[in-house]
Structures are given as structure tokens and as C-alpha cells.
Amino acid sequence: MVQRKGGARRKTRGKFSRSAREKGKFSVSKFFEEFNDGEKVVLKANTSYQRGIYFRRFHGLVGTVVGKRGSCYHVAITDHTKDKTLIVHPVHLMKAR
């Protein structure tokens, strides 16, 4: 059997890259940000913190907060025709406008 090359962050150089203004440490308020159930959020990965990050396919999608598990949130999204639930840390979430 052929071994698979790469992992979950394969081919993400452009997708997960951040501008010079965004690079570096993130604010503590972003780390402890609270979201309510039913709130719309945008999946925007902060690559300076790798824990609780989602799969690269879902980058930029808008989802709905369904619940909470520990410090992370359950986010319901639609992937083409399927409904999926992701467990995402609040650092990687942004409130939708």
C-alpha cells in the first residue's frame, strides 16, 4: 500500500497565510470570546494556535453555533448537500455580520 503524503494542513500555504498586520500573538479576548447558540459565525483559522482547528475544506464558510464542548464550540455547517458539525476553538471563529 502507498503511504499518504502530508496531513490535515497539506496545501494550505496560501489559504491559511496571514497578512503582516495579523501575524504574531492574538489577543486574550479573542481566546475567551463567547458565542451564543444560534449565532452565525465565520470559520477563519488563526494559524498561530493549532488546537481546535478545523479541516481546510471548511475555511471561510459560515456556520451556526449549536452548542459547547469544553472550551470549544459545536458549529453546524452545510458541506455541499450534507449537514456537518465541527468542533472549533473560539480563536478560529469570527462573528458574521
Is residue 43 domain-resident?
yes
C-alpha cell belonging to residue 65: 453555533
**Domain of residue 50, residue span:** 30-95
The CATH number of whichever domain residue 67 belongs to comes to 2.30.30.70
| Domain-embedded: residue 40 | yes
What pLDDT does residue 25 have?
A: 85
The count of structural domains within the chain is 1
Rounded to whole angstroms, the Cα distance separating 70 from 75 reads 14
Locate all alpha helices (DSSP H) within 1-97, ordered by sequence: 28-31
Residue 79 belongs to some domain of the structure: yes
Question: Is pLDDT larger for residue 24 or for residue 60?
Answer: 60
The span from the CA of 25 to the CA of 49, in Å, is: 9
Please indicate, yes or no, if residue 57 is contained in any of the structural domains.
yes
Amino acid occupying residue 85: T
Q: Evaluate if pTM is beyond 0.85.
A: yes
**Structural domain contains residue 78:** yes
